[in-house]
Structure 1
Amino acid sequence: MPVGIEAWITQIPPITRGWLALSVLTSLAVQCQLVTPLQLYYSPKNAFVNGQAWRAVTNFFYFGPISLDFVFHLFFFMRYSRMLEESSFANRKADYFWLLFLSSIMLLGLSPLFNLPFLSSPLAFVPIYIWSRRHPSTPISLFGLITITAPYLPFALVAFSWVLNGTWKAATADLVGCAVGHVGWFMRDVWLREMVGGPTFFSHAPDRVKRLFGDL
């Protein structure tokens, strides 16, 4: 592997890097027919009644077959997850993991309501949405065609996903991710500041999680 690529990978903060690596490896495993999507998708019955608990995890790392849609979601998730982890969560690996963990729990609960067997795309929109709300005046150039401010970014990407897939099914999944991202942003940036005035279970990881990531 070229030194430049190695340096680029090591510069990605750890939570985003781990998420990216697992997502790429999962899609490659499916592409090489080592596993099938039927072994990875999430359903409450299979995960919690039939004892296939791994489904509650593996569905977050499968972005579909390697395609333009795969590259689209992986690129934007990696870009804005990295930017969020490097800014708002700098030197706070446990807190960023906790944000994604709580968001994953919410998505698992919402999955049956929207018939979403794979939650990788909705989870990817959580850091995109939170970053966009924390940088409201930042201009974003989309594909060199139009320039928008950051708060409109998630919805512009949802619209592009709809055009790319030709169906609202993919857009629905991304919108669910935006909704969960909004809850995460509200709990940390609005409710925490205006109603609590200090850290809570929802905004900061428990000490045992911080010790696991070496943040204590």
Structure 2
Amino acid sequence: QLELITPFQLYFNPELIFKHFQVWRLITNYLFFGPVGFNFLFNMIFLYRYCRMLEEGSFRGRTSDFVFMFLFGGFLMTIFGLFVNLVFLGQAFTIMLVYVWSRRNPYVRMNFFGLLIFQAPFLPWVLMGFSLLLGNSIIVDLLGIAVGHIYFFLEDVFPNQPGGGRLLRTPAVLKAIFDTPEDDPNYNPLPEERPGGFAWGEGQRLGG
């Protein structure tokens, strides 16, 4: 926003990355959400809220697993980015977090702008429809949903299937860096099933 750098120095470009060794683009393409405006604020709010609820909910006390989800999702999106014409992947990463949260909280009822009431697993698809109404490409949302589904399937579904097992294992080096030896018993986390506070993301458990 201060115009110290331009988006052209940040965007995902495989040729510049692999032929000219501008490796920072592997990270910076996730950090640019466009100029400050509605779309920027929308992404920031969703990124903050659902990242926080995952960290304080299903990833409580599992910081290394949380970081590993970031790395795994970023790796897959980068691989898929080689085959689709996307220059910034930050919004897809946000949708991935929303998808994982929504699948782990299937009974939460959502209220989107006071117009739609639905259960949490439909939230990524509602966001994709909203993005379409704003004139944005849904390829970004579909990429986030696809990566989120792959992570959710490998982490939550496949290990519980007959003959299944855990294919995703957090490296020991991440556990050594991020995991703390014990938890604080006096800490009260934000309940993961209460995504309210904004009219487009408010929810409650059915029957609650």
TM-score bracket relative to the smaller structure: 0.7 to 0.9
Structure scoring higher RCO (CA < 8 A, sep ≥ 6) equals 2
Q: TM-score, normalised to structure 2's length?
A: 0.82
Contact kept in structure 1, 2:154 and 2:166, CA below 8 Å:
no
Please state if 1:108 is matched with 2:89.
Answer: no
How many residues get paired? 181
Q: Does 1:65 align with 2:35?
A: yes
- AA paired with 1:209? L
Q: Which runs of 5+ in 2 are unaligned?
A: 182-208
Does 2:178 align with 1:213? yes
**Are 2:66 and 1:93 aligned?**
no
For residue 20 of structure 2, the aligned residue among 50, 64, 81 is 50
- TM-score, normalised to structure 1's length? 0.79
Of the three residues 119, 125, 133, the one matched with 1:163 is: 133
- Deviation (angstroms), 1:214: 3.7
1:132 aligns with 2:102: yes
Equivalent-residue separation in structure 1 for 2:113 and 2:55 (angstroms): 23
- Bigger fraction of residues in helix: 1
Spell out, residue by residue over 1:3-58, the C-alpha distance to the aligned partner (whole angstroms, 9 max, x if none).
Answer: xxxxxxxxxxxxxxxxxxxxxxxxxxxx1001110000111111122110000011
1:185 deviates by 0.4
Aligned 8 A contact 1:94 1:215 in 2: no
- Deviation track 1:88-144 (CA, whole Å, cap 9, x = no partner) reads 100111101101101101100111322111110111111100111111111001112
Corresponding residue of 2:185: none
Percent identical across equivalent pairs?
A: 38
Equivalent in the alignment of 2:202: none
Q: Which residue of 1 aligns with 2:115?
A: 145
CA RMSD, 1 decimal: 1.5
Q: Does 1:37 align with 2:4?
A: no
State how far apart, in whole Å, the 1-side matches of 2:35 and 2:99 are: 24
For structure 1, list consecutive stretches of 5 or more residues without a partner in the other structure: 1-30
Q: How big is the shift at 1:61?
A: 1.0
Instruction: Report the 3-state secondary structure (helix = DSSP H, G, I; strand = E; otherwise coil) of the residue aligned with 1:114.
Output: coil
1:194 maps to what in 2? 161
Is contact 1:69–1:161 with CA below 8 Å preserved after alignment? no
